[in-house]
Structure 1
Amino acid sequence: MLLRQTFLLLALIVAVVPAQAQIGRRFPSEKRVVADPVTGTPLTFLTTQPHGDSKIYPSHPQWTADGQWLVFRSARVKGEAMAVNEASGDIVQVTEGGYDGMLNLAQSGGNRLYFLRPDKGGAPKAMQAIEVDLDRVFADSQAGRMKPAASYQRVIGVLPPELEAVGDNALDADGQWFCFRITGKAYAAAHLPAGTKIEPPFGPRGMGAGPHAIGKINVKTGEIRHVVSVPFQIGHIQSNLWNPGELVFSWETGGKSPQRTWTVRGDGSGLRPLYPEAPYEWVTHEAVIGKDEVAFALMGHRAIPGVADPGRAAGTGVEGANPGQDAAWGDAGTREKPTGLAIVNLRSREVSLVGQTPSGSGLWHVHGSPDGRFAVGDDFSRSLYLIDRRTHEMMLLTTGHKATARDHVHPTFSPDGRKIEIQSAMLAADGREMNICIVPVPQAWLDRRP
């Protein structure tokens, strides 16, 4: 009898464990409003527990197409993504089987999620492109009648191993093409013009060498096409969410690049530097913020050689806590030249500086409201600044997010331009674990004449 009971218990454990890790699993609301201790801004924390939360990278959509859910990364279920309902605070697991790199949310035609993941059981380095029907996940999760993961997750196609595709990717504005980074050097080189000089590593991190490429897969048919090859290492890829067939991407070196920002059409035409930078400029963290505009940071985080200014070099007063202080990067990123939150027009190519902190690291990760009214940026101290683009007035929205945090604040405006999502370690007992947080644009600023 005891042996039979033991077998029954083991069978029950086996049956329960997969269900706990299943897509659609629900977690109770953790939603909590906290007043910023310095500015008084009401901060809505949508997660508050130390579960390894982090937001999608700020260059990509954070909200689902209906504006009700925010998707984020979490260790609540290892290797899976979550969504939190902004109104109720309910948390739902939205992937099963893992994902690699970026999470991409469609912005029209229903709530859908796209990502890459290894083709388990397939050829080494082959990757699956996956589409998740979030509307069905949310509905069935709410009703408590979840089906197997294959009922919600569709394999669009398999990217062959010679591409060596990785998780830097972006969904085109019309939702038809899913673009991805190709690290297979033989494949990328075969699509370069004859005689192209391949770039070597750049900077002390030994990164930046090429060639790399961008490819795309049709989300309906699974057709795979080559977009462009370049002679350097590609970093972040993002789409212009207002203009189908337009991409922005970076030359990634782990720090200062010879030419950080690039743009290209989805058919491979029009490849050019987005902002042609000078050797003394440290350009980083570009983000498409509107149909014709891209925001980026011209960093002013390093001390001018021969001028004592340790506060500006460190930003937080803690040497080594932030990147770019290594002398091997040269003299780029000082304030001998103009720095700050810059915005470049994709059509006219004109650039404007809309704001900069008077001291410290300067603005670092930047974004802007789609209506063109506001810009936002964080700094090395993890403080968040709002800028009125018309008047150039700047205000501190929130601070105290702990420079010891596991990652940076990474602000992203909501589509309606009325709030900003960040990730914050303000509530972390260990000073490192981060949570998902919504920061409102002050009503007085919203009421201003556009």
Structure 2
Amino acid sequence: MKKQAIPISSFHCWFNDVLKIGGALLLGLWFAVAATSSLNAQVVAGTDYSDRAHVDNTFDMAGQDVFGQRFPSEHLTIKDEVSGIDIIALTTSRHHNSKIYQDHPQWTPDGEYLVFRSSRAEGQYYAMSMDNFEIVQITTGDNNQFLHLGWTKNNAYQIREGVLIEFDLGRLLEDSENDEVNPDPAHYETVVASLPPRVRESGGMGLDADEDRLFFASRLGPQQSAIYSIDFETGETTKHLEVPMWANHLQANEWVSGEIMYSWETGGDAPQRIWSVSVDEDGEVTHRPLYEENAEEWVTHEVFADKDHIIFNVMGHLDRLQKQPSGIFMMNIRTNEVTRLEQAGKGGYWHADATEDLKWAVGDTFDGNLYRINLETKEVKLLTAGHRPNGPSPFTREAHSHHSISPDGKWLLFNSSMLTSSDIMMVPLHPEGVDLPDVSW
């Protein structure tokens, strides 16, 4: 059989394709080697950089979704020019960093790690060591929904694609400290239950005080929601009640089993903001409003202060709202007794939290100033200032403080726009050797 000659034009096309494929392979190999060299800090131009392998592993350069990856501290200490307190900026990268919402736990039960969320790898959760401020990525993948930390057990809970996952956070953090993280997240996860069809968490969730069930709210329509719970032992999902509103910001009472609180969400001033749901041992449900507000009150940002008290804010930032008492309020949910703290200037207080012993509270104003309030003497001291430079309005693009007092009552954790659009910062609630400025409005 006579061999056919390959046309020159075809040969050129074939040869170019070979060059392209070969070039791509070589380029890919080069990138792989370069990446490996960067990660391992190998010998370059005769110098061994192995002891600096951690240097390039910064958030600004990484930005990759790598489960369990660990980063060096990026914290920075700043002296507040107004109060004189040393502020600890826990995050300082170019990304958007924010603490967990104020009505849920922020720290692992042992207090050794703080958990937060960041945009640096498509909105993953990270844990920061309170010992050396090093950071480890603790979630991965898409659809990263809200993460609820355990009250006493070092676990975390997340509903993903209709499945409730229990996450062994303690084991992951221990493996991370020992550089032994299993790259498969399933190694640390246990499937607790699958939700019924068409039931999805869309209004917050709360871990029961006994840590044996999870409550959550689900929207059924524009003005319809339901409150459910998932039993960890049986995996059963129970609907407790339906309500003719958007139930949101659901949170559990950390100290009382079967008791939750949620808000009537409107995106603004709700007709009746705060609601309580109690489920007794027989499954009987009690549903009632907490702090029955009048039509001219704007209530917001409620949290449990202790087992019997909630603390919240009655807004006073508009002329029509200043015609009646406003400010930070505390309510005994057993007796309905209400205690009002004085209102702040510059538009009034916005968020609030209190220590469990009910001795101290912290409120903030729209300009990003945070104030410590003595609940016995009503004395107000400025802790730190200037964390929302473009205030005083709740509708600027700057971070909402959503501040939380640490369980031991020593630290105040908050979001700040002092350095970037949103960073996480921390100040001592009772700084030593600093005479805090008195406040008079």
Give the TM interval when normalised to the shorter protein.
0.7 to 0.9
Counterpart-to-counterpart distance in 2, 1:100 and 1:269? 31
Distance in 2 (alpha carbons) for counterparts of 1:19 and 1:253? 35
The CA deviation at 1:165 is 2.6
Are the structure 2 counterparts of residues 298 and 101 from structure 1 closer, same or farther at C-alpha, using a change threshold of 3 Å?
farther
Instruction: After TM superposition, give the deviation of residue 221 of structure 1 in Å.
Output: 3.5
> Partner of 2:4 in structure 1?
none
The one of 158, 183, 198 aligned to 1:115: 158
Residue 254 of structure 2, aligned match among 226, 238, 241: 241
Q: Which residue of 2 aligns with 1:440?
A: 428
1:57–1:102 CA contact under 8 A, matched in 2: no
Describe how 1:182-193 pairs up with structure 2 within 5 A.
182-185=218-221
Larger Rg belongs to: 2
CA shift for structure 1 position 265:
1.0
In structure 2, relative to structure 1, the CA distance for the partners of 1:418 and 1:227 (3 Å cut) is same
1:415 to 407, 410, 413: 407
Q: Which moves more between the two structures, 161-170 or 227-236?
A: 161-170
Question: Where do residues 275-314 of structure 1 align in structure 2 (5 Å cutoff)?
Answer: 275-304=291-320
Counterpart for residue 144 of structure 1: 179
Tell me if the contact between 1:79 and 1:99 (Cα under 8 Å) persists in the aligned partners. Answer: no
1:162 equivalent to 2:206? Answer no
Q: Describe how 1:33-432 pairs up with structure 2 within 5 A.
A: 33-109=77-153, 111-117=154-160, 119=161, 127-147=162-182, 148-166=184-202, 168-185=204-221, 209-266=222-279, 267=283, 269-304=285-320, 334-357=321-344, 359-404=345-390, 406-428=398-420, 432=421
CA distance in 1, matches of 2:324, 2:214: 39
**In structure 2, how many angstroms separate the alpha carbons of the residues matched to 1:386 and 1:63?**
21
Please list every run of 5 or more consecutive structure 1 residues that lacks an aligned counterpart in the other structure.
Answer: 120-126, 186-208, 305-333
Q: For residue 283 of structure 1, what is the amino acid of its counterpart?
A: V
Task: Measure the CA separation in 1 of the matches of 2:32 and 2:398.
Answer: 39
Give the deviation of 1:57 after TM superposition. 0.5
Distance 1:100 1:6, change over 3 A: closer
Q: CA deviation at 1:21?
A: 2.2
**2:10 aligns to what?**
none
Amino acid at match of 1:297: N
Instruction: Report the Cα distance in structure 2 between the residues aligned to 1:137 and 1:167, rounded to whole angstroms.
Output: 28
Q: Residues 258 and 278 of structure 2 are in contact (CA less than 8 Å); yes or no, is this contact kept in structure 1?
A: yes
Mean Cα displacement is larger for which, 32-41 or 255-264? 32-41
**Separation (CA, whole Å) in 2 of partners of 1:415 and 1:164:** 31
Q: Secondary structure at the match of 1:115?
A: strand
Asked whether the equivalents of residues 228 and 268 of structure 1 are also in contact (C-alpha less than 8 Å), the reply is no
Deviations 1:302-342 (A, max 9, x none): 014xxxxxxxxxxxxxxxxxxxxxxxxxxxxx111111100
Deviation at 1:407, TM superposition (A): 2.3
Structure 2 counterpart of 1:32 = 76
Instruction: Summarize the Cα distance change of 1:98–1:4 in structure 2 as closer, same or farther, 3 Å threshold.
Output: closer
CA deviations over 1:280-303 (Å, ceiling 9, x no partner): 111111011101010010111101
Please report the RMSD computed on the Cα atoms of aligned residues, expressed in angstroms.
2.5
Instruction: Report the CA distance shift for 1:255/1:49 in structure 2 as closer, same or farther (over 3 A).
Output: same
Structure of higher RCO (CA pairs closer than 8 Å, 6+ residues apart): 1
Q: CA separation of 1:101/1:340 partners in 2, compared to 1, >3 Å: closer, same or farther?
A: farther
Whole-Å Cα distance in 1 between the matches of residues 81 and 159 of structure 2? 40
Q: Which AA in structure 2 matches 1:240?
A: N
Structure 1 residues 268 and 53 mapped into 2: Cα distance closer, same or farther (>3 Å)?
farther
For the residue of structure 2 that corresponds to 1:136, the secondary structure is helix
CA distance, structure 1, for counterparts of residue 277 and residue 244 of structure 2: 14
**Structure 1 Cα separation of the partners of residues 284 and 106 of structure 2:** 27
**In 2, Cα distance between the equivalents of 1:435 and 1:162?**
36
For residues 4 and 255 of structure 1, the distance between their equivalents in structure 2, rounded to whole angstroms, comes to: 56
Paired with 1:423 and 1:390, the residues of 2 have a C-alpha distance of 27
- 2-side partners of 1:228 and 1:3: how far apart? 60
- Report deviation, 1:128: 2.0
Query: Quick one: structure 1 residues 368 and 73, their matched pair in 2 at CA, closer, same or farther if it must change by over 3 Å?
Result: same
Supply the distance in 2 between the matched residues of 1:373 and 1:47 (Cα, whole angstroms).
30
**Structure 1 position 20, deviation (Å):** 5.1
Using the TM superposition, give the Cα deviation of residue 157 of structure 1 relative to its aligned residue in structure 2, in angstroms: 2.1
The one-letter amino acid paired with 2:323 is E
In 2, the alpha carbon distance for the partners of 1:13 and 1:394 equals: 56
* Amino acid paired to 1:149: P
Tell me the CA shift for residue 97 of structure 1: 2.4
Q: What displacement does 1:131 show?
A: 1.7
Distance 1:234 1:240 in 2: 17
Q: Give the SS at the match of 1:72.
A: strand
Contact 1:50 1:435 in 2 (8 A): no
- C-alpha change, 1:157 and 1:406, in structure 2 (3 Å) is farther
Shift of 1:212: 0.4
Identity %: 38
- TM, length-normalised to structure 2: 0.80
3-state SS, counterpart of residue 139 of structure 1: helix
In the alignment, residue 164 of structure 2 is paired with which amino acid?
A
Residues 1:98 and 1:268: Cα distance change in structure 2 (over 3 Å): farther
Amino acid paired to 2:417: A
**8 Å contact from structure 2 (residues 299, 313) kept in 1:** yes
Q: 1:7 to 1:72 in 2, by over 3 A?
A: closer
Q: Is the 8 A contact 2:148 2:157 kept in 1?
A: yes
